[in-house]
C-alpha cells in the first residue's frame, strides 16, 4: 500500500510508516481516559502525580542508555524487544490493573519507551536520503493526525460499557494492535549498514567505555554551536508542546468559557486543516526553503496563541480562526524541524547524540507541567504567554541557524 500511494518511500521508511497507524490509533483512543481510569480504580491525585514522576525518571534513565543499547543490539532488535516491553507488556498491565501497584509496575516498564524511540529514529532515518527525510517526517505527522481522528471511538466504548470496562477493552485492543505493528515492522525492515557497524564497534569497546563515550555526547552537543542552535529550537518546541497539551483545553474551558463539547472539536478541526495543508501547500514548498517555512510556521504559531489572549477571546469564530492558524503553522514547521535535526546529526554518532538529546529534552520539559500549573494559578493566560515566548525564541534561533549554515556554505 505504501508503495502505491507513497512511491518516494523506500526501504525501512516504507516498512516503518506502513504499520505506524496500528500504534497511533489505539494510543489516541486510550490516552484520553488513562488518568480517569486510574482515578476510578482508586488511585489518588497525589499517587497519579508520583506515578507520572516515576515514569519520567525511568524515561531519563532509558534515554541515557538508549544510544548504547541501540548500537549494541542493532536498530531492529532494540526497537522490537523494547517496544514489546514498554508498550505491549505495559498495555497488559494497564488492562488488568486493580490498584496503584499495577500502575506503578506499568510505569516502570513503560518508562523504557525511550529505547525504541531512539532505535526507531535511527531505523527510519539512516537509510533514507537527506532530501527525502522531510517527506518521511511529514507523513509521520499526517499518520499521527489521522490517528487522532479515531479518538472518539474510545468515547463510544466508554459510553457503551462504562469507564473502567471500556478502558480495559481499549488497553486490550492496544496490546493486540501494537504487538501486530511491532512484529509487522520487524518483518518488513532490515538492519541498517550503520547499525551493523555500530554493533561490531560496541562489542569491541565494552560496556563501561561505551557508556563513558555516550556520556561524552553532551560535550559534543555543547561544543558545536550549530548543533546547539538547532537542538535549542527542538527543546523549545517540545517545551511548548508539553504546555499546550496540558493546559490548552483547560484554558479554553475555564478562561475562554468554551463548551466542553466544542473543545472536543479542536483536534478534529486541526487534523482536517493539517491534511489540507499537506495536500495543497506542502508539495509547493521547495527543499531550499525549509528554514523559511519553519520561521513562517513559528510566526503563525505566535499569532494563533496571541489571538487566545487578546481580542474577542470569547468569540467562537475568533477561536476557530486561531485553531486553523495554529494547525497551518504546525504543519509547515514541525516536519521540517524534525528533518533539520535529523540532517544535523552525523550517522556515525546518531544513536548516542539523539539519546543525549532525549535526555536534555526530558530534563528541560519535565518541569513544564509544574511551571504551567503554578503560573496558571496566578493568571490562566501565563502558560499561553510562555508558549508564545517559546515560539518567538525558536524563530530567532532558527533564523540564526539558517544564517550560520549560509556562511558555512560560502
Q: 2 pLDDT exceeds 60? A: no
pLDDT of residue 8: 64
pLDDT of residue 399: 92
Distance of CA 316 to the CA centre of its chain: 29
Confidence class of residue 5 from pLDDT cuts 50, 70 and 90? very low
Percentage of the chain lying above the pLDDT 90 cut: 29
pLDDT digits (tens, 9 = 90+) for 119-148: 998 898 888 888 778 788 878 877 887 777
pLDDT, tens digit, 9 for 90 and up, residues 41-88: 988 767 776 787 788 788 888 988 888 899 889 999 999 999 999 999
Residue 177 has pLDDT above 60, yes or no: yes
Tell me the per-residue pLDDT of 8-29, one tens digit each, with 9 for 90 and over: 667 788 888 889 999 988 988 8
Question: Residue 207 has what pLDDT?
Answer: 66
Q: What residue ranges define each of the domains in the chain, with the CATH number in brackets?
A: 1-215 (1.20.1250.20), 216-410 (1.20.1250.20)
313/323: higher pLDDT: 323
Mean pLDDT, rounded, for 367-385:
79
Closest Cα partner for 120 from 350, 278, 366, 340? Answer: 350
Are 61 and 357 in contact by the 8 Å Cβ rule? The answer is no
- pLDDT by residue (tens digit) across 184-207? 999 999 998 888 988 888 887 766
Residue 410 binned pLDDT confidence (cut-offs 50, 70, 90): low
State the average pLDDT over residues 309-321: 82
Between these two residues, 337 and 262, which has the higher pLDDT value?
337
Residue 289 scores a pLDDT above 70: yes
Burial class (CB in 10 A: 0-12, 13-18, 19+), 247: buried
Angle of the 225-254 helix axis to the 382-409 helix axis, nearest 10:
160
pLDDT of residue 1: 47
Segment among 76-85, 148-157, 175-184 with least mean pLDDT = 148-157
What is the pLDDT of the chain when averaged over all its residues? 83
Q: Is the pTM of this model over 0.85?
A: no
- Which has more pLDDT, 4 or 92? 92
Amino acid at each position: 500500500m505504501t508503495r502505491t500511494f507513497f512511491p518516494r518511500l523506500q526501504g525501512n521508511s516504507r516498512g516503518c510508516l506502513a504499520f505506524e497507524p496500528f500504534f497511533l490509533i489505539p494510543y489516541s483512543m486510550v490516552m484520553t481516559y488513562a488518568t480517569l481510569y486510574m482515578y476510578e480504580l482508586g488511585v489518588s491525585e497525589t499517587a497519579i502525580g508520583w506515578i507520572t514522576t516515576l515514569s519520567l525518571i525511568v524515561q531519563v534513565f532509558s534515554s541515557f542508555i538508549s544510544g548504547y543499547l541501540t548500537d549494541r543490539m542493532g536498530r531492529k532488535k532494540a526497537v522490537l524487544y523494547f517496544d514489546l516491553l514498554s508498550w505491549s507488556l505495559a498495555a497488559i498491565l494497564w488492562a488488568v490493573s486493580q490498584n496503584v501497584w499495577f500502575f506503578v509496575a506499568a510505569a516502570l516498564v513503560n518508562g523504557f519507551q525511550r529505547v525504541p524511540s531512539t532505535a526507531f529514529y535511527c531505523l527510519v532515518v539512516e537509510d533514507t536520503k537527506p532530501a527525502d527525510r522531510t517527506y518521511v517526517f511529514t507523513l509521520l505527522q499526517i499518520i499521527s493526525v489521522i490517528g487522532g481522528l479515531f479518538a472518539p471511538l474510545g468515547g463510544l466504548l466508554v459510553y457503551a460499557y462504562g469507564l473502567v470496562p471500556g478502558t480495559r477493552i481499549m488497553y486490550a485492543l492496544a496490546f493486540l494492535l501494537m504487538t501486530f505493528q511491532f512484529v509487522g515492522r520487524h518483518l518488513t525492515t532490515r538492519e541498517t549498514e550503520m547499525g551493523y557497524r555500530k554493533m561490531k564497534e560496541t562489542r569491541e569497546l565494552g560496556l563501561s567505555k561505551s557508556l563513558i563515550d555516550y556520556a561524552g555526547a553532551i560535550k559534543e552537543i555543547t561544543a558545536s554551536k550549530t548543533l546547539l542552535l538547532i537542538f535549542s529550537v527542538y527543546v523549545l518546541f517540545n517545551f511548548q508542546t508539553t504546555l499546550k497539551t496540558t493546559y490548552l483545553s483547560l484554558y479554553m474551558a475555564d478562561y475562554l468559557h468554551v463548551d466542553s463539547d466544542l473543545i472536543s472539536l479542536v483536534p478534529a478541526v486541526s487534523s482536517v486543516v493539517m491534511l489540507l495543508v499537506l495536500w495543497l501547500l506542502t508539495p509547493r514548498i521547495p527543499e531550499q526553503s525549509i528554514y523559511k517555512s519553519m520561521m513562517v510556521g513559528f510566526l503563525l504559531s505566535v499569532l494563533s496563541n496571541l489571538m487566545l489572549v487578546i481580542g474577542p477571546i470569547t468569540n467562537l469564530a475568533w477561536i476557530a480562526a486561531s485553531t486553523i492558524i495554529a494547525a497551518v503553522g504546525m504543519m509547515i514547521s514541525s516536519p521540517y524541524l524534525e528533518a533539520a535535526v535529523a540532517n544535523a546529526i552525523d550517522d556515525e554518532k546518531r544513536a548516542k547524540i539523539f539519546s543525549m538529546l532525549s535526555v536534555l529534552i526530558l530534563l528541560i520539559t519535565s518541569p513544564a507541567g509544574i511551571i504551567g500549573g503554578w503560573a496558571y494559578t496566578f493568571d490562566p493566560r501565563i502558560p499561553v504567554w510562555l508558549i508564545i515566548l517559546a515560539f518567538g525564541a525558536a524563530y530567532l534561533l532558527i533564523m540564526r541557524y539558517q544564517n550560520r549554515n549560509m556562511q558555512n556554505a560560502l
